A and B are shown apart, each in its own frame.
Chain A
Amino acid sequence: MRAVHYLNQFFAGLGGEEAAGTEPTRVDGPVGPGKGLAAALEGIEIVATIACGDDYFSEHEEAALERLFELIDRDGPDLLVAGPAFGSGRYGYACARVAAEATKRGIPGLAAMHEENPGVATAAGKVVIVPTAVNVAGMRDALPRIATLATALASGRELGPPEEEGYLPRGFRRNRHHGATGAERAVDLLLAKLAGETRSEVGGAFDRVEPPARVGDLPHALIALVTEAGCVPQGNPDRLPSVRAQAWLRYSLVGEKRLEAGDYESVHGGFDVARANEDPNRLVPLDTVNGLVDEGRIGRLHEFFYTTTGNGTPVATSTEFGREIARELRDAGVEAVLLSGT
């Protein structure tokens, strides 16, 4: 197995702060901490060391990455190891970016740094990171642990839990058997909370979008109707699944004043659709909106309505649907959307 090792100017022996503007460069074999790492690696050879000044990387990230990967590709490595960067923010950032880019290009990337290094957040699940001490005094301790992870990663096997394998959690949610049942854990957590120590097995949150500014002139605006409630033409001609939808659909509203019962139905698998099927306008309020267009309260109605089912669809999938629908709406000049869910 062949590995390439990434270092900054300091650890590559090119100089201190005065050399932080150094452009990407390549040296045969291991250098500096790479020598200790090479000694700890079994069956993996460090064929080259690439280095870049911390300032150069942060100021010319795209150019730096492009040049670094020209150098890396020459050696066709099976693995890229970056750092250890300890507590150094700029170096940690570069290690995370270089290792993430390697992973993206199909070369498993491994970085090492202190758990509070900003590079950890930069890596955001894309890179396996070995935790180290905050400063270089932790080098001797870090190298054998980096070597162990490097061997595991290069073998191509799926990594086990972080505390067993010795890496920082990337955030992926994987199952394990705790030994204690969920009920036993719940009672323990509740008693701890009653004693003043609140802990949870689930943390984290969804990202946020800045709310777009209000619609300034609704009586002249183009608005669109979208639903996650699985409203489709009667008989579901395009076979929209009732759960875990893998598609979104759009149907023309040209000439339709309201959604007639018998012409439209809901195929949503997460609620009793009887009431919606009696009157599909209860899901997609076409009758009311057309009335408001006639009254001049709304400018115009977009010629299609968009539909999918929200239940059980993986977040990544429904996010992708959202993006695709959003692009269509944007290109059609839609200025506001009425979206119905369950």
Chain B
Amino acid sequence: MAWEVCTFGPDVLEPDVGRIEDLARAEAALAGVHVAVVEPGEPVRVTHVLDAVEPRIRPDGRMAFPIEDRAGEGVTNRISDVAVLSCLDFPGEERPLHEQESIVDLAGPAADLTPFGSMRNFILAFRPGDGAGHRAIDSAVRRVTLRAAEVLAEPTLSAEPAHTHVFALGPADDSLPSVAALVQLSDLGQLYQLYLYGTPAGECGLPKPVDPAEVMDGAVTAGEYHWAAMRNPTLFFQLSSLVRTLYREHGKRLRFAGVVLMRGYEQSADDKQRAADAAAQVAVGLGVDGVVITTDAGGNSHTDTMLTCRACEHAGVKTAVIVCEETDLEATAPILTDWVSEADCIVSTGNVEQLAPAWKPERVLGGEHLLDGTPAAEAGPIPVRNYLGAANQMGQLDLGATSW
């Protein structure tokens, strides 16, 4: 199966803010949206960020974030170096949302904690409708954000791409090791879950293998709002460094055997063990020598990662595990949320406890106050844990904790 991606530069954009506002207006659960365009490197802090999406559209008219059609085949247009950031302060005291602020700084000392500082950003600051519930609000925000990403990409339909790339897995030498990615999608109920073709990850019969191109072509979308740094926003799937690396190395240093999606946040010990064993069996079924295991969100999803690592190693499949650290600044050994002795090959995507130095932005978008009430422009040092995707555990970014 081949998937062709046509890349266009940001110059192709002809933003029509009115159309995005209309999308929000059509949602009963939303009172409206304020759209702002921020150029790369502007001294702006964005707060209450829920998701980030790259503008995409399919020339054949199928949905860019499909619910029924299959992703990862045919042609998709993308606009590079552009992100749509959805922002919302959920009303009320829903736990633990009101304690888990999610920030993007587009300049200043924390600009390099997220990829957005070097991108053109469309900030969609949503206003919830009176009396609307969290779930209805979230559904509406996700719908409008994904649709806005399509609307923004429309001008590509009548433009020439800067370049095109075909993702396909050709034959590879049998002597190369066979490698798969086990990609965790969390599901702890709405507000804390990822979606596969619009369906919550927990209702998709995971674990199961998918075509790697599906992952990058809008099949996976995000709606998981735990600790910001440990989130995997939609854009990280669309541009997955892990999937792209495995494609790139296919036929050179390895044979890319595919992606296995699995669920994070199984809620009982038995379910966790069963899911871990099942993921290992899918890997064995693919005939792989090794897997890279990713993690989504924080807390007991790390147990799912570690049990999957153990199950794979016991089944004869070698593992590399990607997790972040939660190491107190005074501690002299790394602290993981969970660990098994089989996890002997771990990539650290950063210590979320570290503080980013204080920085005073010239403008704040998304909401003037952080969720704890602090004025966002005067917040002082902010922990890495509050920066969107900064320590994401799919290995999208280059951050990592090392011993100092």
Binding site for B on A (CB under 8 A): 124-125, 159, 161-162, 169-187, 189-191, 193-194, 198-206, 241-244, 267, 269-272, 311-312, 314-316, 342
Instruction: Report B-chain residues with C-beta under 8 Å of the C-beta of A242.
Output: 95-96, 99
- Whether the Cβ atoms of A180 and B398 lie closer than 8 Å is yes
Q: Interface residues of B, CB < 8 Å — how many?
A: 69
Considering the complex, which residues of chain B in the window 99-134 have a beta carbon less than 8 Å from any beta carbon of chain A? 99-100, 112
Q: How far is the CB of A198 from chain B (nearest CB, A)?
A: 5
Which of B267, B329, B331 has the largest number of chain A CB atoms within 10 A? Answer: B331
B234-267 to A contact mask, C-beta < 8 Å, 1/0: 0000001110011001000110000000000001
Known interface pairs A173-B402, A198-B345; A182-B329 also in contact (CB < 8 Å): no
Question: Which residue in chain B gives the minimum CB-CB distance to A168?
Answer: B403
Complexed CA–CA distance, A272 and B188 (Å):
8
Chain B, Cβ-Cβ closest to A206? B333
Name B280-303 residues within 8 Å CB distance of A.
289-292, 298-300
Q: Which residue of B lies closest to A314 (CB)?
A: B328
Chain A, Cβ-Cβ closest to B344: A198
Name which of A178, A185, A190, A272 has the most chain B CB atoms within 10 A of its CB: A190
The answer, yes or no, to whether B60 is at the interface (CB within 8 Å) is no
On chain B, the residues within 8 Å of A198 by CB distance are 344-345
Considering residues A198, A270, A272, which has the most beta carbons from chain B within 10 angstroms of its beta carbon? A270
B223 within 8 A of A: no
Q: Can you name 11 A-B residue pairings with CB atoms under 8 Å?
A: A174-B351, A174-B354, A176-B401, A182-B349, A194-B290, A201-B401, A267-B95, A271-B300, A312-B298, A314-B353, A315-B335
Q: Which residues of B contact A185 (CB under 8 A)?
A: 347, 395, 400
Inter-chain contact A193/B327, CB cutoff 8 Å: no
Q: Please judge, given known A-B contacts A171-B403, A173-B327, whether A186 and B290 are in contact too, CB under 8 Å.
A: no
Shortest distance from the beta carbon of A63 to any chain B beta carbon, whole Å: 28
B contact face: mostly helix, strand, loop, or mixed? loop
- B residues 314-332 near A (Cβ < 8 Å) are 318-323, 325-332
Q: CA–CA, A315 to B343, complex, Å? A: 21
Q: Which residue of B lies closest to A200 (CB)?
A: B346
| A307 to B196 alpha-carbon distance, docked (Å) | 38
Chain B residue numbers with a CB within 8 Å of A206 are: 333, 335
Contacts of B402 in A (CB 8 A): 161, 169, 173-176, 201
Tell me if B350 and A175 are in contact (CB < 8 A). yes
- Asked if B403 and A187 make an inter-chain contact with CB atoms under 8 angstroms apart, the answer reads no
**Which residues of A are found within 8 Å of B254, using beta-carbon distances?**
187, 191
In contact, B329 and A190 (Cβ under 8 angstroms): no
Given A178-B398, A183-B394, A191-B254, verify A159-B331 contact (CB < 8 Å): no
B354 to chain A: closest residue by CB: A175
Shortest A304–chain B CB gap in Å is 25
Other-chain residue from B179, B344, B395 in contact with A182 (beta carbon distance below 8 A): B395
Given known A183-B240, A193-B320, contact A159–B404 (CB-CB < 8 A): yes
Q: Are B241 and A184 in contact (CB under 8 A)?
A: yes
Which of A162, A178, A193, A243 meets B290, CB within 8 Å?
Answer: A193
Shortest distance in angstroms between A322's beta carbon and chain B's nearest beta carbon? 15
Q: Provide the residues of chain B in CB contact with A184, threshold 8 Å.
A: 241, 245, 395
The residue of chain B having its C-beta at the shortest distance from the C-beta of A204 within the complex is B333
Closest 6 CB pairs of A and B: A182-B395, A171-B332, A183-B395, A204-B333, A269-B96, A125-B332
Report B242 CB to chain A, min CB distance, Å: 4
Q: Which of A159, A182, A189, A204 contacts B396 (CB 8 A)?
A: A182
Candidate in B253, B399, B404 with the most chain A CB atoms within 10 angstroms: B404
CA distance A204 to B392 in the complex (A): 22
Question: How far apart sit A193 and B290, CA to CA, in the bound complex (Å)?
Answer: 9
B328: A residues at CB distance < 8 A = 314-316
Minimum CB–CB distance from A141 to chain B (whole Å) comes to 23
Residues of A close to B290: CB separation below 8 A: 190-191, 193-194
Q: Which A residues are in CB contact (< 8 Å) with B276?
A: none
A178 to B299, CA, bound (A): 25
Tell yes or no: B334 within 8 A of A by CB.
yes
Contact A173 B249 (CB under 8 A): no
Smallest CB separation, A229 vs chain B (Å): 13
The answer to whether B344 and A175 touch across the interface, beta carbons within 8 angstroms, is no
CA distance A311 to B249 in the complex (A): 39
Complex Cα gap A198–B292 (Å): 14
Most chain A beta carbons < 10 A, residue from B242, B254, B291, B345:
B345
Chain A, residue nearest B349 (CB): A182
Within 8 A of A (CB), among B16-71: none
B 338-381 contacts with A by CB, 8 A: 343-351, 353-354
- The CA-CA distance from A243 to B297 in the complex, in Å, is 14
Tell me the minimal C-beta distance from B357 to chain A in angstroms: 10
The reply to whether the CB of B177 lies closer than 8 angstroms to some CB of chain A is yes
B166 proximity list for chain A (CB < 8 A):
none
Q: Are A186 and B318 in contact (CB under 8 A)?
A: no
Of chain B, the residue at the smallest CB distance from A269 is B96
Using Cβ atoms and an 8 Å threshold, which residues of chain A touch B96? 242-243, 269-270
Closest to A244 in B: B99
Partner of B249, one of A161, A187, A241: A187
A194 touches B177 (CB 8 A): yes
Q: Across the interface, which residues of A come within 8 angstroms of B299, CB to CB?
A: 270, 311-312
Q: Determine the distance from Cα of A311 to Cα of B230 in the docked complex, in whole angstroms.
A: 15
A197 to B, closest residue via Cβ: B345
> A187: which B residues are within 8 A, CB to CB?
179, 242, 245-246, 249, 254, 292, 320
Say yes or no: A172 contacts B292, CB within 8 Å. no
Q: In whole angstroms, what is the CA distance A154 to B240 when docked? A: 44
Q: Is B189 an interface residue (CB 8 A)?
A: yes
**CB distance A183 to B396 under 8 Å?**
yes
Residues in chain A near residue B240, CB distance under 8 A: 183
